Amino acid sequence: MFKKSRSHFRWRYQPRNKIDILMLDYISTSDVMSTTNMILLALKAFWLPLAAAQSPDLDKANKERIAIEACCSLLIQINQIYAAVGLELPNYMLPSNQRELIEAWNNSQSKTNSTSNYSSIEEQKKQIGQFNYDTDSFSSW
């Protein structure tokens, strides 16, 4: 497979806009995990599956495992973003069994009673945990 060798990667970026400054300040001061781990987790979830797909050194099973782990990390992050800013999860993002329960409950309600098709923010936080980042999902890579 891969030769065990150390690789050194250096990247320097001087942010020039307020949004990049906000993001990099958050990453550098957050106590969620180390700065390096935050950056690597994001890069691995976003770019590793594409790199793996092009790698002749990985078999199909490993490529699929990397893709599944990355997609799971991204879905967890989507849930956490919605919860962090106080948005309700869209119906299409709910697990199918939860959608069916919500639809059944909504169908049993009076038409004059306005109901939401989504879990409340507090229910979403309970479902996904309060920012429980899985830092070990890519540990073998």
Using 50, 70 and 90 to split pLDDT, how confident is the model at 94?
Answer: confident
pTM, two decimal places: 0.63
pLDDT at 136: 53
Query: Per residue, what are the HEC states of the chain?
Result: CCCCCCCCCCCCCCCCCHHHHHHHHHHHHCCCCCHHHHHHHHHHHHCHHHHHHHCCCCCHHHHHHHHHHHHHHHHHHHHHHHHHCCCCCCHHHCCHHHHHHHHHHHHHCCCCCCCCCCCCHHHHHHHHCCCCCCCCCCCCC
Share of the chain above pLDDT 90, in %: 40
**Is residue 38 pLDDT above 80, yes or no?**
yes
* pLDDT beyond 50 at 115: no
Residues with Cβ within 8 Å of residue 15, at least 6 apart in sequence: 21, 24
The tens digit of pLDDT for each residue in 9-35 reads 888 999 999 999 999 999 999 888 899
User: pLDDT > 70: what percent of the chain?
Assistant: 63
pLDDT of residue 66: 94
